[in-house]
Each structure stands twice: as C-alpha cells, then as structure tokens.
Structure 1
C-alpha cells in the first residue's frame, strides 16, 4: 500500500510539474548570431513552439537581421535540407511575430521596404515588455 501511495504521489508531482512547465504562453526569441546552425536551431524550436499552439515573438539583431532582408540568402543545412531563411518564412506563415531590432536598418543604410513581408522594426518598449512578461520563456541565440 505504501508503494502504491508513493508511486501515486510521484505521478501527481511529475504530472503537476509537467503541467506547470507547459503553462507558458510562448517564447520570446532574440537572435543575433551569424552562425547558420545557431540560427536554424532558433527557427526549429520556434516552429515546435508554434506547433504546440503557443506564440512566438522573435527579434533579429546584428548579423541575424540579414535573414529578414528580401534579397538575402542563407546556407541550406542537413538533415532538413532547409535554410534558416526558409524556416523563418515558415514560422511567419504559421503566425510568429518577427521584427528586426531598431538599430539594424539604419546601420546597414537600409529601409523598412528592404524587409520581407510581415517583418517590421521592433519598438524597444514593446520588446522589453515582452521580455519581462513572465507568461513567456526567453531564448537568446
């Protein structure tokens, strides 16, 4: 009987922990890396989050901002045979909010019209509110 009670208690504890860990509304993802594998991992985890009906707010800064440009290219990686840019387009299509940091365009001598469709310039106050929102997990790449 004690074993049954212990197993039941452990199951309840683990079940509660799993439920609590899954209570996040989504992810805030900040990508700055120019490394294609690192960029790809941020896209893959963002896609997996969207597939769980959670939200993704992504901000691309520095070299990662290049992914947001209409005419940029990114390396195709195994095993998916997709590039970070291809995955970026897919997560946008699936509903992710994607922005470039406000320093990106002016320091590249570019305009908002150089960005892919549905990508905008982040507003620092909105990004800071997102990052401080405890209903979201923050990832930085």
Structure 2
C-alpha cells in the first residue's frame, strides 16, 4: 500500500490525476481480494485504465472455474449484497481491464496457461517493472 500512496501523492502533486493504475494482488484473504476488486471497480468506473497482476495465492482468481470458498458482504450502500472476487475480476476484464498472473505463478502451481480464464495473460517482469517505475501509473498492492 505504501508504494501506491507514493504514486498517488506524486501524481496529485503535479496537479494531474493518473488515468492508469496497476493493482498487484497477492493475498489469499477473501476480504482483501474482495476489497481490491471493489476498489479496482470504482477506479475503472471513474475512468482509470486498469492493469491487474495476480501473484501467489491470488493467482487462483485467474484460473477458469475457480470459486472462492465464500462471498463477501458489500456495504449497505451497495445493492449487490454479496459478491465473489472472481466475479468482480471477470466484470473488470469484460470492461477492459488487463489481467495477468505473475511470471512465477504457473511454474509454482499445479496449473498451466491453458487453465487460465480467457483473456488472462502471463506477465513478463520487464513490462511490469516499467509500469511500476512510471510516475504516471499509480501502483496499489494488496
């Protein structure tokens, strides 16, 4: 989260809002995954071009047919009631978000590239590092 805060402070310090964001999700926590997806959705609705990188246990969200052990309750202001992180992820993808798993996710899991949801890629370290270094791209970690 600190890295994201720095990126946001930097972009706001120049008087211009970033229209691109990189969300890096590694947590296996249902609530953390859910909040990362809910915030990503809010950013996308506000016009942010999203790139999502799923690493470690969060990589499971990218696997076709994966179902979270439970759903998360949304705030009273959200009429959706209960949602699953993988459902929001698919909605984000349907609305143009770029989603990749970390380069080391597949070789360290029981999955291969054919197990991934349609549209999910495998990130290369170079392009992700470029995004992380770009002061015009806000970076958020969960």
Give the TM-score of the pair, scaled to structure 2.
Answer: 0.82
Q: Deviations over 1:85-141 (max 9, x none)?
A: 001001111111100001111111321110001101001001000111111111000
Query: Secondary structure of the residue that 1:24 maps to in structure 2?
Result: coil
- Alignment partners' CA distance in 2, 1:37 and 1:19: 33
Q: State the Cα distance separating 1:19 from its structure 2 match.
A: 8.9
Q: Answer 1 or 2: which has greater helix percent.
A: 1
Post-superposition offset of 1:18: 9.4
Would you say how many aligned residue pairs link Structure 1 and Structure 2? 124
| Shift, 1:54, TM fit | 1.3
Matched residue SS, 1:57: strand
RMSD: 1.6
Asked whether 1:101 is paired with 2:115, we answer: no
TM-superposition CA deviations, 1:25-54 (whole Å, max 9, x none): 221110000001101111111111111111
Name the structure 2 match of 1:26: 20
Does residue 60 of the first structure (1) align with residue 61 of the second (2)? no
**Alignment deviations for residues 53-97 of structure 1 (CA, whole Å, 9 cap, x no partner):** 111111000000001001211121112311000010011111111
Residue 71 of structure 2 is matched in structure 1 by 76
Which of 1 and 2 has greater Rg?
Answer: 1
TM-score by length of 1: 0.83
Q: Secondary structure at the match of 2:83?
A: coil
Match of 2:41 in 1: 47
Work out the CA distance in 1 between the residues paired with 2:48 and 2:25. 19
Question: Which residue of the partner structure matches residue 135 of structure 1?
Answer: 136
Find the counterpart in structure 2 of residue 119 from structure 1. Answer: 120
SS of structure 1 residue aligned to 2:17: coil
Higher relative CO (Cα under 8 Å, sequence separation at least 6) belongs to: 2
